[in-house]
């Protein structure tokens, strides 16, 4: 199809993997427009926003402001529609604002002659089947929308709605089509991925079992899970070698006091038991952690730190608490000064980095082979440098005299673990 005369659309995606999937839905829904990977080539920019923190809002706002006077038509969508869409629209900074539920109508919206603001509603589910992921080695599969948790610091349920699941048959069809189109690693994602099936009498373990039976699936990575969503049936599934040897389980904190204050459903003693069990099974373990939430006193912090040290964590997504309007945490006093929060963040990250290096050294010493999906290939010193991720979600750099295309699977039997990443020669 000749798309040279069609207006070019660039998508700027902020935030999580769910947003990446939503962007792909919009790309697939374009008919009268062509997609470009380059902002400078575009006539239209669609900003798919994140609003999880004040910093996320600020980053989105700064990007929209930067686009002014560049002659592009700007549209605004994503989680930020509820928090700042109206303000951006009223200031004339964007031509159109549309909510999550309208993204499959993007072709119609981009054709609109008049500017518009339509926040949509919060109970929709996409019907689009994705056939490719532009520029990606792995395919993201959104399995659900929304969240029923009521964490005191979080605004996401109010912008994504309550938890609702995509149909099992549709998810399997989606993966089968992508597998036929050459994808072999799949990442399950959603607003609260572990809640898949609760609204339709199913469970995540049922879905994972079905996906692992698809021949084209070489590796299945699971997005963020809540500790309270991991049951015995799920733990039994972990013997399947198609499941990545890395799990991301959102703890958010390790102080019993803070977990209660945050209205979390997990407790530290059970978290420790679960993480030790999974580590003994050979899994690398990641988590989310909020630092500097109101009332994280020095005494609370010291207890949390000792508890953190006991966890076999190898990956960490830590972030400093960001006040969000219309949340219970926003009403709390006893804020933690920024310099103290930043210092605490560095301490947790250093502990995790040391744990990660220790895990990789152990794998090296025990000569455990790594299964690597090559994501990038570059010419280097008369040969090639291959970059990829192993099944423990660790980076590896491979020097090779032979050329391997992107998306090739390699088994690396010998490697050297260094502090920044793993290295190998083949």
Task: Give the model confidence (pLDDT) of 104-118 as tens digits.
Answer: 999 999 999 999 999
Domain count, the chain: 3
Higher confidence at residue 323 or residue 147?
147
Does 14 fall in a domain? yes
Tens digits of per-residue pLDDT, 162-176? 999 999 999 999 999
Q: How would you class 366 by CB atoms within 10 Å of its CB: exposed for 0-12, middle for 13-18, buried for 19 or more?
A: exposed
Q: If you average pLDDT over residues 189-207, what whole number do you get? A: 93
Q: Given this model, what pLDDT does residue 323 score?
A: 86
Please check whether residue 123 lies inside any domain of the structure: no
Percent of the chain with pLDDT over 70: 99
What span, in angstroms and rounded, lies between the C-alpha atoms of 154 and 191? 12
Residue whose pair of structure tokens reads 């260094």 in the numeric block: 418
Note the pLDDT of residue 248: 97
The pLDDT tens digits of the residues spanning 213-269 come to: 999 999 999 999 999 999 999 999 999 999 999 999 999 999 999 999 999 999 999
Sheet harboring 219-222: ordered strands across?
A: 164-165, 139-145, 185-190, 219-222
Identify whether residues 337 and 380 lie together within a single domain. Answer: no
CATH number for the domain harbouring residue 62 = 3.40.50.12160
Helices (H), 262-337: 268-280, 298-309
pLDDT at 3 over 60: no
Is residue 341 a contact partner of residue 320, using CB atoms and an 8 Å limit?
Answer: yes
Domain end (from 66, 84, 118): 118
Q: Looking at the structure, do residues 237 and 298 belong to the same domain, yes or no?
A: yes
CA-wise closest residue to 194 among 202, 183, 182 = 202
User: DSSP class of residue 41?
Assistant: G
Q: Does residue 264 lie in a domain region?
A: yes
Can you give 222-237 as a three-state secondary structure string?
Answer: ECCECHHHCCHHHHHH
Q: Are residues 151 and 104 in the same domain?
A: no
Contact 262, 153 (CB under 8 A): yes
- Give the end of a domain, one of 345, 364, 383: 364
Q: By mean pLDDT, which of 107-121, 125-139, 149-163, 368-382 is the weakest?
A: 125-139
**Residue 411 sits in the same domain as residue 313:** no
In a domain, 1, yes or no: no
Co-location of 164 and 232 in the same domain: yes
Average pLDDT over residues 399-408: 93
Same-domain status, 258 and 359: yes
Entry pTM: 0.86
CB-based burial label for 152 (10 Å; 0-12, 13-18, 19+): middle
Do 178 and 324 lie in one domain? The reply is yes
Domain membership flag for residue 128: no
Question: pLDDT tier at 196 (50, 70, 90 boundaries)?
Answer: very high
Counting residues of the chain whose pLDDT is more than 90, the rounded percentage is: 82
**Span 3-21, average pLDDT:** 88
Report how far residue 219's alpha carbon sits from residue 234's, in angstroms, rounded to the nearest whole number.
17
Integer CA distances (angstroms), 369 to 263, 279, 372, in order:
42, 18, 10
Q: What is the average pLDDT score of the chain?
A: 93
Alpha helices by DSSP H, 68-221: 86-90, 106-110, 156-160, 168-180, 204-212
For residue 369, what pLDDT is reported?
97
Q: Which residues contact 223 (CB under 8 A, 6 or more apart)?
A: 17, 187, 188, 189, 190, 193, 248
Give tens-digit pLDDT for 136-159: 778 989 999 999 999 999 988 888
- Alpha-carbon distance of 78 to 118, in angstroms, equals 12
Residue with tokens 């660039």: 10
Q: How many CA atoms lie within 13 A of 45 on its CB side?
A: 22
CA distance 65 to 284: 40
pLDDT (0 to 100) of residue 137: 79
The encoded tokens of residue 263 equal 């209205």
Residue 52 inside a domain? The answer is yes
Task: Provide the pLDDT for residue 131.
Answer: 75
The pLDDT score that the predictor gives to residue 4 is: 66
Whether 95 is in a domain gets the answer: yes
Supply the pLDDT for residue 400: 96
- Do 101 and 154 sit in the same domain of this protein? no
Backbone φ and ψ for 142, nearest 5 degrees, come out as -80, 120
Of the candidates 91, 154, 95, 83, the residue with the CA atom closest to the CA atom of residue 119: 83
Same domain, 296 and 349: yes
Regarding whether 358 and 415 lie in a shared domain, the answer is no
CA–centroid distance for 270 within its chain: 25
Average pLDDT over residues 289-303: 97
- Answer yes or no: are the C-beta atoms of 46 and 11 closer than 8 Å: yes
Q: Give tens-digit pLDDT for 46-62.
A: 999 998 877 888 899 99
pLDDT, mean of residues 125-134 = 77
Residue 131 domain-assigned (yes or no): no
Examine the domain organization and report whether 291 and 394 are in the same domain: no
Residue finishing a domain among 337, 364, 391: 364
Question: What's the CATH code of the domain at 225?
Answer: 3.80.30.20
Structural domain boundaries enclosing 101: 8-118
Residues 258, 167 share a domain:
yes
């Amino acid at each position: 199809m000749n798309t040279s005369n069609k207006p070019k659309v660039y998508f700027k995606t902020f935030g999580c993997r769910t947003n990446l999937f939503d962007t792909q839905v919009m790309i697939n829904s374009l008919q009268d427009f062509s997609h470009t990977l380059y902002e400078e080539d575009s006539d239209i920019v669609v900003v798919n926003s994140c609003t999880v923190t004040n910093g996320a809002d600020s980053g989105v706002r700064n990007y929209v402001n930067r686009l002014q006077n560049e002659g592009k038509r700007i549209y605004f969508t994503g989680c930020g529609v509820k928090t700042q869409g109206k303000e951006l629209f009223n200031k004339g900074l964007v031509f159109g604002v549309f909510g999550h539920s309208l993204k499959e109508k993007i072709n119609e919206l981009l054709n609109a002659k008049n500017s518009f603001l339509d926040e949509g509603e919060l109970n929709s589910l996409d019907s689009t089947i994705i056939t490719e992921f532009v520029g990606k080695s792995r395919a993201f599969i959104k399995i659900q929308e929304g969240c029923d948790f009521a964490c005191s610091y979080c605004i996401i349920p109010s912008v994504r709605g309550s938890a609702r699941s995509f149909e099992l048959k549709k998810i399997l069809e989606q993966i089968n089509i992508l597998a036929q189109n050459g994808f072999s690693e799949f990442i399950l994602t959603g607003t609260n991925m572990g809640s898949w099936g609760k609204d339709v009498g199913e469970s995540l373990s049922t879905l994972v079992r079905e996906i692992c039976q698809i021949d084209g699936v070489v590796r299945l990575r699971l997005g963020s899970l809540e500790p309270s969503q991991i049951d015995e049936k799920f733990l039994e599934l972990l013997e399947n070698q198609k499941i990545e040897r890395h799990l991301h389980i959102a703890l958010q904190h390790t102080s019993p006091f803070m977990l209660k204050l945050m209205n979390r459903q997990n407790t530290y003693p059970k978290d420790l038991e679960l993480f030790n069990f999974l580590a003994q099974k050979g899994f690398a373990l990641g988590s989310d952690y909020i630092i500097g939430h109101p009332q994280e006193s020095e005494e609370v912090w010291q207890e949390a730190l000792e508890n953190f040290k006991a966890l076999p964590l190898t990956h960490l997504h830590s972030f400093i608490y960001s006040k969000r309007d219309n949340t219970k945490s926003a009403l709390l006093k006893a804020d933690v000064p920024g310099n103290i929060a930043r210092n605490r963040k560095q301490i947790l990250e250093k502990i995790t980095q040391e744990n990660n290096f220790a895990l990789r050294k152990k794998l090296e010493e025990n000569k455990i082979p790594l299964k690597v999906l090559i994501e990038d290939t570059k010419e280097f010193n008369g040969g090639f440098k291959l970059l990829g991720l192993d099944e423990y979600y660790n980076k590896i750099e491979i020097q090779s005299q032979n050329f391997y295309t992107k998306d090739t699977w390699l088994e690396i039997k010998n490697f050297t673990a260094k502090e920044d990443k793993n290295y190998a020669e083949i």
